């Protein structure tokens, strides 16, 4: 069998007894990586650490669809800033996140919420031109402003 150490360096072709002896001397385990080739490939490594790293990789692969990123729009947001927020939203949506769009309204701005809604609609219009989106939660009026949640279709 072909034996490789934990750093990836090839030790050579050894028989089973020699490979097991070498692994015990290093206080590590002998793990068969593949049997499809002749001779089979084995690695000398810490099996517990190997399993831990595999589980860690699996946790990292979980879908981020449930996590939410927020984008805050101001009442008097300019055209360029709106474009910047659109590119941020596209970045988040491409990574699989849902996006919460918020517009905080203060004082007299609360009385002119139609203008605020038009700003959010303009934001969505620009976003829909660049990427297909799905509205998860419709535009809602909350005590401090307007919010809605979108995701990528």
Instruction: Return the CATH number of 2-60, one of 3.40.309.10, 3.10.20.80, 3.40.50.720, 3.90.700.10.
Output: 3.10.20.80
Q: Determine what percent of the chain is predicted with pLDDT higher than 70.
A: 97
Please report, for the chain, the start and end positions of each structural domain, with discontinuous segments joined by +: 2-60, 68-152
State the pLDDT confidence band at 64, using cuts at 50, 70 and 90: low
State the pLDDT confidence band at 6, using cuts at 50, 70 and 90: confident
Q: Determine what percent of the chain is predicted with pLDDT higher than 90.
A: 52
Cis peptide before 93 (omega within 30 of 0): no
Reported pTM? 0.57
Q: Is the domain 68-152 a CATH 3.40.50.2000 member? A: no
Q: Which two structure tokens, joined as six digits, stand for 87? A: 């590119």
Give residue for tokens 């490594």.
45
pLDDT at 66: 64
Q: Report yes or no: 122 and 139 within 8 Å, Cβ to Cβ.
A: no
Higher pLDDT, 55 or 110: 55
Q: Where are the alpha helices (DSSP H) in 9-148?
A: 16-25, 47-60, 79-94, 113-130
pLDDT at 43: 92
State the pLDDT confidence band at 3, using cuts at 50, 70 and 90: confident
Average pLDDT of the segment spanning 83-93: 94
Q: Report yes or no: 71 and 103 within 8 Å, Cβ to Cβ.
A: no
Residues in the chain, total: 153
- Hey, CA dihedral for 126, 94, 88, 75, is it positive or negative? positive
pLDDT in tens, 115-144: 888 999 999 999 999 999 999 999 998 888
């Amino acid at each position: 069998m072909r034996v490789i150490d934990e750093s990836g360096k090839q030790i050579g072709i050894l028989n089973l007894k020699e490979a097991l002896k070498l692994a015990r001397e290093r206080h590590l385990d002998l793990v068969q990586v593949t049997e499809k080739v002749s001779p089979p490939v084995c690695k000398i490594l810490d099996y517990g650490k190997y399993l831990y790293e595999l589980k860690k990789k699996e946790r990292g692969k979980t879908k981020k669809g449930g996590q939410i990123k927020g984008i805050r729009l101001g009442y008097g947001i300019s055209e360029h800033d709106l474009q910047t927020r659109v590119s941020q939203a596209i970045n988040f949506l491409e990574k699989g996140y849902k996006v919460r769009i918020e517009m905080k309204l203060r004082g007299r701005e609360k009385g002119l919420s139609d203008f605020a809604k038009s700003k959010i609609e303009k934001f969505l219009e620009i976003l829909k031109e660049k990427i297909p989106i799905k509205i998860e939660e419709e535009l809602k009026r909350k005590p401090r402003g307007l919010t809605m949640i979108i995701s990528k279709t």
